[in-house]
Structure 1
Amino acid sequence: MSSVLYDAQGPRAKRRNVLYTAVFLVALAAVLWWVYKSLDDKGQLDWVLWKPFFSGTEAYSTYIWPGLQNTLKAAALSMVIALPLGAVLGIARLSDHVWVRVPVGIVVEFFRAIPVLVLMIFGLALYAQYTNVSSDDRPLYAVVTGLVLYNASVLAEIVRAGILALPKGQSEAAMAIGLRKGQVMRLILLPQSVTAMLPAIVSQLVVVVKDTALGGAVLTFPELLASANTMSGYYGANIIASLTVVAVIYVILNFSVTSFASWLEGRLRRRKKSTGAVLGVQDAAAIAGTAATGAER
């Protein structure tokens, strides 16, 4: 069966695709067998190394849960600060005033170009040299600072792109009935662009959760990934088992965030669908009168 965008495969193409599929499956099976054999030869699949995660809760209560708490704390603080800051910076980049638009653009491009790990290291040095933050709290502060500066800049570009993606007729129609630019942004553009921006925003929030691991790798921040090294040393060098459990937790955590975002996006789209109601003459006159009153004000 053919369509405008797709031509039905002939017999040779079907045979070729079946051959490619078979070759890929054989190669995949060979790779999986090689991985399994390598781990088994080094004793990483012995039950004694995996037993702490399937018998008892000591590994979870002593190592994984405290690390997960620190990961969630750093990620939540970064999200709460970066989301509104990114929205403000993104809107400011659309300002008609050059003295607002240009400096904000420089700030956004500057922090967006620097690796987040470098920002974390600078933050740690800053808090150590110029503040009274205790040495125990500095890693958390540095991680949050780096994540906020980088992700707020990225979110600013997402917000700006989402607003610019809307048809110009939206703002022109709003100004035609007497709304000021601030009202147009707050009442017309932002509510419509949120739905379109939501997938990109959620992707960035997932990046925030994963980037907290950089603090554990470099700044000795006791987050989830750092707990794997501690567990490995305590339970007899079971680094593969520890990393596997931590990886599964990251997958579950990020999948929960994306699933919630998908549900929220669908709900917002359903709420924005037209009800199909037909306005009568009196309703149209009332709307016109309200718009005229707003224009006079």
Structure 2
Amino acid sequence: MTRQNESTVLFDALGPKGKQRSMIASIISGAVILGVLALGALELAKDGFFEASRWVNPLDVLVVETTWIPAILDTLLAFALGSLVAIVLGVLIGFGRISRFTPTRAASSVYVQFFRSLPLVLLIWISFTIDGHFGFTSDVLGWSGDARRLTFLVLGLGIYNGAILAEILRAGVAALPPGQAMAGYAVGLSHGQVQRLIVLPQVLRNMLPAVLAQLVILLKDTSLGYVITYPELLHSANIIGRDYGRSYLQALVIAALIYFVLAYALSKLVVYAERRLRKKTAAPKAAAQLESTVAGGTAGSGVI
């Protein structure tokens, strides 16, 4: 099926009048969007938003070196550790959801349903407050300051996104043809070996774009470290805005642009990984189709 056929399989192609109406609607909607943006820019200009003096302090070399760069590094550290915890929990809980043992399956289902329903900011704040009451990390482990805040931000990100990734993994396993697992059982593999050697590699390959897309969301969720004063980008932008009151909005805009660059780079990684997967899976599919065609032709050409 060609790309054109794929794009029109669920609806009829537009005719001349339809294309004309679609073009008019696109022009009108584009003009409305540009008008709103222009109006917003005009109001900001009246307030002096674009004045160079308001951008000097947030972009000062010393501010960049002492605040923005450490904030970016702390954000990436929380993202990396949170992603690691989320992936590990997602794999464990995901396979727990498809386990043959009812208690394991039930416990995994409760985990997913409970933590997926909680707001992430509430999960981070409650765990941080509980620890502050009992003093486990500070009194027992000796952690304090940013290390303690990083711990609970990472735990919140990992626990919450682990539940999401577990559902992605469960959906990926459910989407696999059952014949592959049955073939593994037929050659004498145990249930664990089938899951580890046959199911898991295919699920990870098929679900990688969805997993990476969820990690993009996790990257943006690091901004919730603001509620426990972890020195990520949003918290650092707030400090800069507090120190330079006339540049508060400018500091937030700079933080937003940095988040955009980081999320955009990670989303490009998602697109790259998806393309790589398509290239790796396209050849086997084409070979299988060719083999099927040749076998069909050979069978059809037999002499009775």
Query: What range describes the TM-score normalised by the shorter chain of this pair?
Result: 0.7 to 0.9
Does residue 146 of the first structure (1) align with residue 150 of the second (2)? no
Aligned to 1:197: 207
What CA distance in whole angstroms lies between the structure 2 residues aligned with 1:244 and 1:57?
17
What CA distance in whole angstroms lies between the structure 2 residues aligned with 1:178 and 1:37?
72
Match of 2:250 among 241, 251, 259: 241
What CA distance in whole angstroms lies between the structure 2 residues aligned with 1:196 and 1:159?
10
User: Aligned to 2:246, what secondary structure does the other structure show?
Assistant: coil
Match of 2:15 among 9, 23, 30: 9
- Aligned ranges 1:89-168 → 2 under 5 Å: 89-130=93-134, 131-133=136-138, 134-136=143-145, 137-168=147-178
Task: Evaluate the alpha carbon distance shift between residue 159 and residue 244 of structure 1 in structure 2; reply closer, same or farther with a 3 A threshold.
Answer: same
AA in 1 matched with 2:211: I
What CA distance in whole angstroms lies between the structure 2 residues aligned with 1:45 and 1:105?
52
What CA distance in whole angstroms lies between the structure 2 residues aligned with 1:270 and 1:7?
29
CA positional deviation for 1:14? 4.0
CA positional deviation for 1:140? 1.6
AA in 2 matched with 1:59: V
CA positional deviation for 1:236? 4.1
Q: TM-score normalised to the size of structure 1?
A: 0.84
What CA distance in whole angstroms lies between the structure 2 residues aligned with 1:26 and 1:261?
32
What CA deviation, in whole Å up to 9, does each residue of 1:46-100 have, x standing for no partner? 111123466x522321211111121111111111111011101100111111121
Q: Is the 8 A contact 1:52 1:58 kept in 2?
A: no
CA positional deviation for 1:18? 3.5
Does residue 29 of the first structure (1) align with residue 34 of the second (2)? yes
Q: Is the 8 A contact 2:137 2:148 kept in 1?
A: no
CA positional deviation for 1:201? 0.7
Query: Which blocks of at least 5 consecutive residues in structure 2 are unaligned?
Result: 292-304
CA positional deviation for 1:269? 4.0
Q: Is the 8 A contact 1:195 1:269 kept in 2?
A: no
What CA deviation, in whole Å up to 9, does each residue of 1:156-201 have, x standing for no partner? 1111111111011111111112111111111111111112211211
Match of 2:64 among 50, 60, 67: 60
What CA distance in whole angstroms lies between the structure 1 residues aligned with 2:164 and 2:91?
10
Aligned to 1:260: 269
Using the TM superposition, name which of 259-268 and 244-253 deviates more.
259-268
Q: Percent identity?
A: 34
CA positional deviation for 1:204? 1.4
CA positional deviation for 1:151? 0.8
Query: Which blocks of at least 5 consecutive residues in structure 1 are unaligned?
Result: 280-297
Match of 2:89 among 69, 85, 88: 85
What CA distance in whole angstroms lies between the structure 2 residues aligned with 1:123 and 1:230?
24
Aligned to 1:48: 53
Task: Evaluate the alpha carbon distance shift between residue 183 and residue 245 of structure 1 in structure 2; reply closer, same or farther with a 3 A threshold.
Answer: same
**RMSD over aligned Cα, in angstroms?**
2.5
CA positional deviation for 1:15? 4.0
